[in-house]
A = this chain, B = another copy of it.
C-alpha cells in the first residue's frame, strides 16, 4: 500500500467510510447492538481487502495493521448510530461514495495483486473480491442473499475496472498512473449510470425460458 499516491489514499478512506456507513445502516436496521454495528461496519469496509491479502500472501492483511481503516469505520458507525435519520436522508451521497469505494477498491485491489507478481487472472478475481467481498460478508452475517448478485450492475463495474488495470499492465502502452485513472473513471461511470438508469444484468428466469419457478 505504501506506494499509493496520497490522493488515492484519501479516496480510499472515503470509500472505506461509505462502505462502513452501508454496513452500519444495514446492521442498525436489524437491531444489532453497538458492538455488532461497529463490527459489521468494519467488516464491510475491510473484509474484501483482508481476503485479497490472504490470497496474495500479504500477511498480516493491511485492514488489520493500518489503524486508519479501523478508525474510519468506527467513526462511520458512530455517525450512523447518532445521526440515523440524517444518514437515511443521505442515501444519495452514500451511494455516490459507495460507487467511489467500489471502483477504487477494484483498481487498487487488482494493482496490489500485480505488485505481488501474481498473474492477470488473480488480479482480476481479487480486484472484484476487494470491491465486493465486504458487502457479501455483510449480507451473509445478516442472513440475506448478497444483494450484489441481484442488483443493478455492481460487481460488473468492479470487473470492468480490474480488467482495465490488467490489460493496461500487459499492453504497457501508457503509464500505469493513466491506466489507473482510466480504470477508475470507467468503473465509477458504469456504476453511476447503472444506478441512474436502473440498469440490471438479465436474470435468466425472466427470459423466455422462464416458466419455471
Interface residues of A (CB under 8 A from B): 27-28, 30-37, 39-40, 50, 54-57, 59-61, 64-65, 67, 70, 81, 84-85, 88, 118-119, 121-122, 125-126, 136, 140-146, 148-151, 155-156, 159, 200-206, 209, 212
Contact A150 B84 (CB under 8 A): no
The majority secondary structure among interface residues of chain A is: helix
Q: In the bound complex, how far is the Cα of B63 from the Cα of A119, in angstroms?
A: 12
Contact B65 A122 (CB under 8 A): yes
For this complex, 28 residue pairs linking A to B, each with C-beta atoms less than 8 Å apart, are A31-B150, A33-B150, A33-B200, A34-B202, A34-B203, A34-B204, A35-B149, A35-B156, A36-B146, A36-B150, A55-B59, A55-B61, A55-B64, A56-B60, A64-B121, A64-B122, A65-B122, A67-B121, A70-B121, A85-B209, A85-B212, A136-B141, A140-B140, A140-B143, A141-B146, A142-B145, A143-B143, A143-B144
Determine how close the nearest CB of chain B comes to the CB of A78; give it in whole angstroms.
10
- Closest 4 pairs between A and B when the two form their complex, measured CB to CB: A36-B149, A57-B59, A33-B201, A32-B149
Contact A39 B149 (CB under 8 A): yes
Contact A84 B209 (CB under 8 A): yes
Q: Which residue of B lies closest to A137 (CB)?
A: B140
Q: In the bound complex, how far is the Cα of B144 from the Cα of A203, in angstroms?
A: 21
Contact A141 B141 (CB under 8 A): no
Q: In the bound complex, how far is the Cα of B40 from the Cα of A118, in angstroms?
A: 23
* In the complex, chain B residues whose CB is within 8 Å of the CB of A205: 28, 31
* In the complex, chain B residues whose CB is within 8 Å of the CB of A85: 209, 212
Contact A65 B119 (CB under 8 A): yes
Contact B31 A203 (CB under 8 A): yes
Q: In the bound complex, how far is the Cα of B140 from the Cα of A161, in angstroms?
A: 27
